[in-house]
Amino acid sequence: NAGVTQTPKFQVLKTGQSMTLQCAQDMNHEYMSWYRQDPGMGLRLIHYSVGAGITDQGEVPNGYNVSRSTTEDFPLRLLSAAPSQTSVYFCASSRGRAPSGTNEKLFFGSGTQLSVL
Amino acid sequence: QKEVEQDPGPLSVPEGAIVSLNCTYSNSAFQYFMWYRQYSRKGPELLMYTYSSGNKEDGRFTAQVDKSSKYISLFIRDSQPSDSATYLCAMRGALYSGAGSYQLTFGKGTKLSVIP
């Protein structure tokens, strides 16, 4: 199994540009989520989805959009990139409607390093 | 005050030492408690999981939850250089218990180095 696949691995943007970070999982997971990880701030939830057609905001949603048209895919769109969005972005998925322990553990992708100049 | 507090370290110990990592939290609705391990330039991976209060042991790792004190711990016995990583605590409440019940709240992570 490929698990959670994120693309691209690295990206450099100029301020004001838009782009989409791709995330796909092949485990038929209901729950998918996007986190950003910054030094000294830990992992912060941007948006999440509990199934196709259902999305909700996390802790830091401003400047990002998501959609969930299929079970497998959960793209993250940056509408107008800002230097404050420079970060490492992780996509994660789990069985069930919320992540927890062994049977509903969160599987993370390998991350996207994004720099906004 | 953040919901979950975790000392970021860094923590450096000699090989074979016992390591104690801790998190405190303020939300009494939290019931699911996890520890994730993250190696450099990788995504986090689930290491230990505990539901509600109590202890759980898996090999050299022991997770403890004290809900009365809102305090969770991860102990690593006979630490190895391969344990060098960032350890993140994570937790959430029961579904339908209120805002954020579908979300994991993470600590900032503690960076651990085990020196050979």
SS (H, E, C) A75-113: CEEECCCCHHHCEEEEEEEECCCCCCCHHHCCEECCCEE
Cis? peptide before A8, omega within 30° of 0? yes
- Exposure string over A99-110, b if 16+ CB within 10 A, otherwise e: bbeeebbbbbbe
Rounded mean pLDDT, A68-75: 97
Residues of A in contact with B95 (CB under 8 A): 97-98
| Chain A residue closest in CA terms to B35 | A101
Compare B96 and A95 and report the one with higher pLDDT.
A95
- Predicted confidence at residue B65, as pLDDT, reads 96
Q: What is the pLDDT of residues B18-42, one digit of tens each?
A: 999 999 999 988 999 999 999 999 9
Would the pLDDT of A8 be above 90? Answer: yes
pLDDT tens profile A35-70: 999 988 889 999 999 999 999 999 999 999 999 999
List the single residue in B6, B32, B42 with the smallest CB-CB distance to A100: B32
Instruction: Show which residues on chain A lie within 8 Å of chain B, measured between beta carbons.
Output: 4, 31, 33, 35, 40-45, 48, 50, 56, 58-59, 90, 92, 97-102, 105-106, 108-111
Residues A86 and A115: beta-carbon distance below 8 Å: yes
pLDDT value of position B93? 85
Give the pLDDT confidence score for residue A1 in this predicted structure.
Answer: 63
CA torsion through residues A45, A106, A50, A68, sign = positive
Decide if B102 and A45 are in contact by the 8 Å CB cutoff: no
Residue A75 carries which side chain, given as an amino acid letter? P
**CA–CA separation, B96 vs B30, rounded Å?**
12
pLDDT at B98 over 80: no
